[in-house]
Structure 1
């Protein structure tokens, strides 16, 4: 049976700041992120299976990505917890803001690595994560490919 890649796209709004950066992105700002998640597998051949003909039900993939990524990062502000930004994060939290403290600089590159790890942990055994594309602006994005990370 042929291997097939399927992709589901997601959008979410997230703020961040890059501590120590030498440009405008050192300031707190936000993006309308677009995340494309591509998995690879073979379509189910058992015609008694309700998922017959599917690699994975798009709804099942959506549940994983929404739970692990979208619901967590949407309308949150992300800071590297190993920087003085932690003080700002604490102040925002006391004022009722949704703040995420992560172990990395919250660039698109590092976020897409984090997302790959989180998604991979929840995919069925017969499905592999093939690629992620995290688009930060209309013209800027980071991509993660399984083939590059073996």
Structure 2
């Protein structure tokens, strides 16, 4: 059977700041992120399976990515744990969705984190092929499984 790639597109709004950065992005600012998630596998051939002919149900992929990434980060503020006194910034009246990461929340580090989150949730017969994360209309990072074996 042929290997097939499926891609689903996701959108979320997120703010971040880059600790100790030497440019404007050291200030809290937001982006309209677009995340493309591509998985690869062979369509199911078991005629008794309700997912017959599918590599993976798009709805199942949406559920995984929504739970792991979009629902958590949409309209959130994300900062690195390296920011001094970062815990004191969590003012509930302003930052109900506030995340402190182990890493600098760059597009590059976020996409690597997203790959780890998604890979652990995919069905056994489906692999994560690639991710593409647009931070702006003209700037994006890409992650490929083949580069990370």
Query: Matched residue of 1:22: which SS?
Result: coil
Matching residue of 1:77: 77
Structure 2 stretches of 5 or more lacking a match?
none
User: What CA deviation, in whole Å up to 9, does each residue of 1:57-88 have, x standing for no partner?
Assistant: 0000000000000001100000001222615x
Number of residue equivalences: 148
User: What CA deviation, in whole Å up to 9, does each residue of 1:9-64 have, x standing for no partner?
Assistant: 00000000001110000000000000000000000011221111000000000000
Distance 1:14-1:85 versus aligned 2 partners, 3 A rule: farther
User: What CA deviation, in whole Å up to 9, does each residue of 1:81-120 have, x standing for no partner?
Assistant: 1222615xx3343434111000000000000000000000
Whole-angstrom CA distance in 1 between matches of 2:71 and 2:91: 18
Whole-angstrom CA distance in 1 between matches of 2:76 and 2:69: 11
Structure 1 stretches of 5 or more lacking a match?
none
**Structure 2-normalised TM-score?**
0.96
Q: How does 1:5-44 map to 2 (within 5 A)?
A: 5-44=5-44
Matching residue of 1:67: 67
Whole-angstrom CA distance in 1 between matches of 2:123 and 2:15: 31
Q: Is the 8 A contact 2:130 2:143 kept in 1?
A: yes
Matching residue of 2:145: 146
Aligned residues: CA RMSD: 1.1
Query: Matched residue of 1:18: which SS?
Result: coil
Matching residue of 1:102: 101
Q: Is the 8 A contact 1:38 1:131 kept in 2?
A: yes
Q: Is the 8 A contact 2:19 2:82 kept in 1?
A: no
